[in-house]
Amino acid sequence: MTFMKSLLSAAAATALCAGAALAEPALIFDLGGKFDKSFNEAAFTGAERWVEETGGSFREIELKSEAQREQALRRFAENGNNPIVMTGFAFGNVLSEVAPDYPDTKFTLIDMVVDAPNVRSVVFNEHEGSYLVGMMAAKASKSGTVGFIGGMDIPLIRKFACGYVQGVKAVNPDATVIQNMTGTTPAAWNDPVKGSELTKAQISQGADVVYAAAGGTGVGVLQTAADEGILSIGVDSNQNYMHPGKVLTSMLKRVDNAVYDAMTAGTDIETGIYVMGVANGGIDYALDEFNAPLVDDDMAALVDGAKAEISNGTITVHDYMSDNTCPVE
């Protein structure tokens, strides 16, 4: 017993020393997993960019259960990690309880707002980006029918869908938008097989452009769309490279920039609410060598015009989550 005790206290002592020596940032990935080629991976890319430029290092964890949210936050805070960056709206409730206990630690929360003096909340206007890619989908579609495949059926994804439909209707008021959600449980974020099936179903109903806002499930959507010879639209990260010439564009949500900025600012990070939208480059559509042949000058001019108009407030895209309704179907 005494041997065990000394062993444990020695381990505790080394852990404490290690904690005091480094004030490295920490990054917590939500339940979707780090390599979802989408939302969480964007966060990881941002952190990696910071590592490359500064030569620093950071702690990271992929959560496996709900109870681990609070645990990971507290353990990193007690270990002296600063700032602590976390991805996903599900942290909102937990962080609002944890943040006041560690006033000297700075937290950055992506996708949700927590009102505390030591928290930077970064939220994105996904509906604006979805509006832009919706316009491109309507422009690229020959059948007049386009598809939307969401991940888990939650308000956030309905916000994507609503912005997308608005964009489609702005270009072609007669267009049909087929909407499907992958599932009702968190497993829907990582079910490429189901995503593939839904894509096939939408193709059989005439869709020739599909927009996947479904995390890891989108990999299956993009694959099937490429196999069946229709166009797809990626989300969060730039997914154009996955099937060159087959992915019309990607709705970019610059989670990587949010993470990179937080880690660069370090412990001096400014707190408060940061809204990232089209106006400040936090939301955009992807244009690179992989999709350049698909986007003609006409389409680019149309979308860039809409971008400018959203930025200066001429166009207001309705936000589903502001009132939980969508003006268009």
Which one of 4-12, 126-134, 213-221, 304-312 is the stretch in contact with another protein (CB under 8 A)?
4-12
Q: 167: which 2 tokens? A: 């964009």
Q: How far is the CB of 287 from another protein (least distance, A)?
A: 30
Q: Where are the alpha helices (DSSP H) in 38-191?
A: 39-54, 67-78, 92-98, 126-140, 155-171
Among 2, 65, 204, 312, binds another protein (CB under 8 A): 65
Question: Do the beta carbons of residue 146 and residue 178 sit within 8 Å?
Answer: yes
| Binding residue (CB under 8 A) for another protein from 6, 13, 15, 54 | 15
67 is a contact residue toward another protein (CB under 8 A): yes
Kindly tell me which of 228 and 319 has the beta carbon lying closer to another protein. Answer: 319
Q: Is 154 in the site for another protein (CB under 8 A)?
A: yes
Closer by beta carbon to another protein, 275 or else 300: 275
* Residues linked to residue 210 through DSSP beta bridges, in sequence order: 147, 232
Q: What minimum distance in Å lies between the beta carbon of 24 and another protein? A: 13
Binding-site member from 75, 179, 201, 266 for another protein (CB under 8 A)? 75
Q: What is the DSSP letter of 202?
A: H
265 binds another protein (CB under 8 A): no
Distances (CA, A) of 288 to 184, 247, 249, 250, 292: 34, 11, 9, 10, 6
Token readout for 181 is: 């959600």
Q: In what order do the strands lie in the sheet with 59-62?
A: 59-62, 26-29, 84-87, 107-110, 119-124, 272-276
- Residues that bind another protein in the complex, under the rule CB under 8 A: 7-8, 11-12, 15, 31, 59, 61-62, 64-68, 70-72, 74-76, 89-90, 92-93, 101, 112, 153-156, 184-186, 321, 324
